[in-house]
Amino acid sequence: MVRDLVFEIGTEELPARSIPELLHLLKELSLSIFNSERLKFDEVETFGTPRRLILFVKGLSEDQEDLIEEIKGPARRVAFDANGLPTQAAIGFARSRGVRVEDLVVKDTDQGEYVFAIKRHKGRKTAEVLAYLLPRLVTSLPLPKSMRWKGSLKFLRPIRWFLALYGDEVIEFELDGIKSGRRTRGHRFMGRAEFEVKDVKDFFFSLEREFVIFDPAKRRTIIEEGVKKLQRSVGGKELVDEDLLEENVFLTEYPVVVKGDFREEFLKLPSEVLVMVMKVNQRYFPVYSGDGKLLPHFIAVSNNRASVMDPIIEGYERVLEARFEDADFYYKKDLEVPLEDRVPLLKGVVFLEKVGTMYDKMERIRALSLDINAILGFPVSSEVVSRTAYLAKADLVTDMVSEFPELQGIMGREYALKFGESEEVAWGIYEHYLPRFAGDELPKTWTGTIVSLADKMDTIVACFMAGLAPTGSQDPYALRRQARAINEIIWQRGLTLSLDYLVLRSVELLKAPNGVKEEVFEFLKNRIFNQLKEKGFEHALSECVIASDWFKPYELLRRASVLSEFINREDFRRFVSAFVRVVNILKGLSVDGEVKEELLVEEAERELYEAFSQVKPRAEKSFLSGDYPEFLLELFSLTDLINRFFDKVLVMAPQEELKLNRLRLLKSIKECVERIGAIWMLGV
């Protein structure tokens, strides 16, 4: 026999952004625990709203499966004598396991025949097991943050009730004074404050009746279709922001989609300001025309269906207009002071304790930006780069950005254009913050690219200098994202920039103490290694290329790509097999000096030396030009000669000078090959 289980954790309003992850964790934890406890079921689902997390288990067996435990004992030859009678070893083993000696069984294993004790544990009733499993689910659920409101129970928000029904049976337990039962609650405004349900089916039916749409997928459909319908109604383009949609899904239990309007005069403000206020501050959906222009409408999602929605819509409009009026005031006030006049004010803004002010940072990124521009062959005039870096942080001391920090860079661009700066400078100011989050756009202009790289590297080195390196899951200054962005920008642009130069120059500009450089190198190396794996390169291949020169991300990516194409080729596999012999014999040895031709007395070593002398300049020329496939093909001609060398020549000869000369030859080959990577790691 089977029954369905529903377990509801009723809470105060949960943070909308946390609920999807909570539901995922609840499902995964439930699957793990139910399986480990031998509870058979058909399916596990989770549902959630701001006030509740729901676990639904379909077809849960009424009995725990029996457990057959096999305990390995002594070998048969030890457990039984020549006449097949049990020895003291068998008798003692049976006694220690609580079984009769005659019930011991003999089984074949990889190590031979062994004696086993077989113990059968009768499964318990599922209802009994659930009584301790459900509280365990609550206390074991991993939470990003938690609070304690009384006693010892911790959760993301205070828990107010537990409903636990197995069919129509209550699974009784108590956690910190909160007893489970069959009582739940409807919508905070439209439903009953509290009511009882008969069974699992009645639970879901009653929630819908009490204005709780418990399924996030259903709420998503209601909101998405409602937003698109209202967008069409005012001639707008059907456009639903996925992140905003997700947030509204988990801000509501009974979503009602409505349209509001605002005065057209606000459209004179930069559209990013209006959109930011609507989306970030109010969780409203903007409305755009077919050609992408912002329209004087918005779409909101109410968590309340009133008989007359007009007062609710008017309230939304009043709040939004007040926000827009504030933005308009800040915008006009900011335009009273030229952007360049604000730069000295950065001296009063602390960037990091022990590091200095934002003005100091501006000076550093300006110097580093000019260096990068020179290294790249001056794709932009030095004056434009210098001007962009000088103004890059100026909008931080404007009233608009002080009120709405999300607009940094955006307002810098707008104010720069208003005060007559060039498009290149204005867009460079905006783009130097890019990318702002995972999946965001990368800088498109050269100026934005250059200043963005300088700004991010300065932030990374400065934070390490201030003792603010990322630890575990803690990364308050988003240094991992900054490092990722540096590599992504370099890859997208195909830049030959070397990270060691950027780090060393930043260390110099910051006057960072000894040790910071090595810490930053290790951090950047780990980040680029992880990014290579994310791009689909195998662990060993990523390690292989990183073990060589990893400082140039673009070249590193190209080397990894070429090796991934060669790795299954027979000529490559044969060469690696031969090269491993070179690596193994040199392991742990310190070999210096050049090969002396007059000491090459064996034919096989002379052949290898002469062939390598011809291959090396061609291979290095190919490598320096970036033709890595040709570099490898040149080396493949040495495969048979390397194998012949090891087969015919005694490398570790008793004559010290012969041995050293042969090791020098092998070392020179190893150094040449490993320019592309430590290919011996590939194990092909």
* Window from 60-69, 206-215, 551-560 with minimum mean pLDDT: 60-69
Report CA-CA distances (Å) from 12 to 15, 51, 303, 392.
Answer: 10, 6, 15, 43
Q: Is the pLDDT of residue 102 over 90?
A: no
pLDDT at 25: 94
DSSP for residue 345: G
Query: What's the average model confidence in pLDDT over 649-673?
Result: 91
Most confident range, picked from 71-75, 215-219, 437-441: 215-219
Q: What is the pLDDT of residues 302-336, one digit of tens each?
A: 999 988 899 999 999 999 999 999 999 999 999 99
What are the extents of the domains in the chain? Answer: 2-64+125-209, 69-121, 216-334, 340-534, 559-682
pLDDT at 684: 60
Task: Give the sign of the dihedral formed by CA 509, CA 487, CA 498, CA 468.
Answer: positive
pLDDT band at 76 (very low <50, low <70, confident <90, very high): confident
**1: number of Cβ within 10 Å:** 7
pLDDT band at 554 (very low <50, low <70, confident <90, very high): very high
- C-alpha span between 260 and 299 (Å, rounded): 6
pLDDT at 70: 83
- C-alpha span between 296 and 139 (Å, rounded): 48
- C-alpha span between 81 and 66 (Å, rounded): 34
Surface-to-core class of residue 99, CB atoms within 10 Å of its CB (0-12 exposed, 13-18 middle, 19+ buried): middle
DSSP secondary structure letters along 628-645: HHHHHHHHHTTHHHHHHH
DSSP for residue 654: S
What is the CATH number assigned to the segment(s) 340-534? Answer: 1.10.3210
- C-alpha span between 153 and 138 (Å, rounded): 9
Q: Is the pLDDT of residue 149 over 80?
A: no
Q: What is the pLDDT of residues 1-39, one digit of tens each?
A: 889 999 999 999 999 999 999 999 999 999 999 998 888
Which superfamily does 559-682 belong to?
Answer: Isoleucyl-tRNA Synthetase; Domain 1 (1.10.730.10)
Any idea which residue has 């509290």 for tokens?
Answer: 194
- C-alpha span between 564 and 557 (Å, rounded): 11
Nearest of 573, 552, 580 to residue 666 by alpha carbon: 580
**Three-state helix/strand/coil letters over 175-244:** ECCEEEECEECCCCCCCCCCEECCCHHHHHHHHHHCCCCCCHHHHHHHHHHHHHHHHHHCCCCCCCCHHH
Specify which residues 155 forms β-bridges with: 147
The answer to whether 158 and 149 have CB atoms below 8 angstroms apart is yes
Q: What is the pLDDT of residues 343-402, one digit of tens each?
A: 999 999 999 988 999 999 999 999 999 999 999 999 999 999 999 999 999 999 999 999
What is the residue-averaged pLDDT of the chain?
A: 93
